[in-house]
Amino acid sequence: MIQNHRAKKSLGQNFLTNSAIIKKIIEVCDLKKDDVVLEIGPGKGAITEGIASRVKQVLAVEADHTLAKYLHEKFTGTNITVFSEDILKFDFEKLPDNIKLISNLPYNIATPIIEKVIAHRRKFNQFFMMVQLEYGQRMCAVPGNKTYGSFSCFVQYYGLPEILFKIGRGAFQPMPKVQSCFIKYDLFKKLPQEFHIEERLFMIIRTAFQQRRKTILNSLNGFADKASLEKIFVKLGIDSQDRAESLSLGQYIKIAGELDVICHSANL
The binding site for ligand SAM (CB under 6 A) comprises 11-16, 40-43, 46-47, 61-64, 67, 86-88, 104, 106, 109
- Nearest residue relative to ligand SAM (C-beta): 41
User: Which C-beta is closer to ligand SAM: that of 57 or that of 228?
Assistant: 57
User: What's the rounded Cα separation, in Å, for the pair 159 and 265?
Assistant: 31
d(CA 31, CA 99): 11
CB 6 → ligand SAM: shortest distance, Å? Answer: 12
Q: Which is nearer to ligand SAM, 6 or 213 (CB)?
A: 6
Q: Taking the complex as a whole, how short is the minimal distance between the CB of residue 80 and ligand SAM, in angstroms?
A: 13
Tell me whether residue 171 or residue 232 sits nearer to ligand SAM (CB atom): 171
Q: What is the DSSP string of 68-96?
A: HHHHHHHHTTTTEEEEES-TTTS-GGGSP
**For the purposes of burial, counting CB atoms within 10 Å of the CB of 81, is it exposed (0-12), middle (13-18) or buried (19 or more)?**
middle
CB atoms within 10 A of CB 142: 12
CB-wise, 107 or 202, nearer to ligand SAM? 107
What is residue 237's three-state secondary structure? coil
